[in-house]
Amino acid sequence: MPFRPPPHHLWLSLRHIAGHVAITLLAVGIAFALPPFAEYILYSWWPQVRDDSQMLLFTEIAFAAVLVVLFNALSLALHYRRKARMSGVAALVHAHEQSDWFSRREKRNLLRRLPWKRDVAIMAVTGYGTFSAADADLRHVLQDCYEVRVMLMHPDGAGARAYVATHADPPAALASLRREFAASLDYLRALHAAGRQVALKLYDEAPFWKLVFTGEHAWVRCCHDCRDFGRYPEYVFALQAEKPARGFFPAFYTYFLNQWNDPRHPDYSFESDELVYRDADGREARREGRPGDGAADGPPPALAAAA
């Protein structure tokens, strides 16, 4: 079967080609316009200006203003070039805030363009705002993935109680957190029943980072405050294939792998609906019942945006 590039790759290639053609045509146009322009300056415009003091003063002021604009533009270009270089070292490819409509739109476009349909790894609080809510960014995306690895906070552990302690009403916040967790668990069970390779682990510490790994991109947001961590910016770091040790992608991915491989974090068994605890050698030590069984009935409200 002949190889057919994805439509978005073809569109990007056409945009690059069109950009090069436009720059080439602009350069050719400037080259052809220079001789007539120089002739006009020397033989038509300058003879009129040199004998008119007011016109000469106006010309000098206009020329000075143009120089100021050009030097400011050059200074801004150098400034943003330095920032772009630092972003390149950090491997930062995108950043957005929830309140910025254009940034949210750019995030959705970036999600559509990424060729990462095979596997996704997630470390979140409840996962509700990430993939199980009706308007979650990854709700429909995960249905196209082959392998999904998810780490969520244990809704009955000490970490959950510490996490909601800063809330104005901790008991209500904890009940909301458990309802959100239950909704996420039901969604993952549906994915597993549909034949997707889904793995779920629970951690018991109060979280600090929300992490989503989509192929070679890491989506990072601070989530230490349960009241509304949606106000924190979200950053996207990319793996640099030519320099894989550079940037923040390997740091966050290593952190995720360390948490994932930590034997203290139990696995969830989709077959028996139980938590499986293992020892340091990976052998099963004990089992517990379904986490979050004490969750109150009712739809899960948004405890924290994009949890």
Is 297 within the bounds of a domain?
A: no
Range of the domain at 221: 94-288
pLDDT at residue 253, rounded to an integer: 94
Q: Are residues 182 and 283 in the same domain?
A: yes
pTM, full prediction: 0.72
Residue 111 has which token pair? 């999600």
Q: Are residues 103 and 75 in the same domain?
A: no
Q: Are 59 and 49 in contact (CB under 8 A)?
A: yes
Q: Please give the Cα distance from 98 to 307 (Å, whole number).
A: 13
Q: Are residues 42 and 180 in the same domain?
A: no
Is 302 within the bounds of a domain?
A: no
List of residues 6+ apart from 173 with CB closer than 8 A: 164, 167, 226, 303
Q: Are residues 135 and 30 in the same domain?
A: no
CATH number of residue 223's parent domain: 3.30.870.10
Mean pLDDT (the chain, rounded)? 82
Residue 148 has which token pair? 């999904």
pLDDT at residue 4, rounded to an integer: 40
Q: Are residues 105 and 142 in the same domain?
A: yes
Is 134 within the bounds of a domain?
A: yes
The H helix count followed by the E strand count for the chain is 7, 10
Q: Are residues 207 and 232 in the same domain?
A: yes
Is 81 within the bounds of a domain?
A: yes
Q: Are residues 251 and 124 in the same domain?
A: yes
Tens digit of each residue's pLDDT (9 = 90 or more) over 55-110: 878 888 988 999 999 999 999 999 988 888 888 888 898 888 776 667 667 777 77
Q: Are 160 and 153 in contact (CB under 8 A)?
A: yes
Q: Are residues 58 and 132 in the same domain?
A: no
List of residues 6+ apart from 221 with CB closer than 8 A: 209, 210, 229, 232, 233, 234, 235, 306
Tell the residue number behind the tokens 């073809």, with chain if given.
Answer: 10
Q: Are residues 72 and 178 in the same domain?
A: no
Q: Please give the Cα distance from 278 to 66 (Å, whole number).
A: 71
Q: Are residues 242 and 123 in the same domain?
A: yes
pLDDT at residue 301, rounded to an integer: 43
Is 99 within the bounds of a domain?
A: yes
Q: Please give the Cα distance from 307 to 287 (Å, whole number).
A: 27
The vertex-101 CA angle with 99 and 102, nearest 5°, equals: 130
Tens digit of each residue's pLDDT (9 = 90 or more) over 195-249: 889 999 999 988 889 999 988 899 999 887 665 556 788 899 999 888 888 889 9
Q: Please identify, among 51, 75, 90, the residue that sits at the C-terminal boundary of a domain.
A: 90
Q: How many domains does the chain divide into?
A: 2
Q: Are residues 193 and 208 in the same domain?
A: yes
Q: Please give the Cα distance from 305 to 197 (Å, whole number).
A: 27
Tens digit of each residue's pLDDT (9 = 90 or more) over 107-144: 777 777 766 567 899 999 999 988 998 888 888 888 88
* 151: nearest Cα among 189, 91, 201, 190: 201
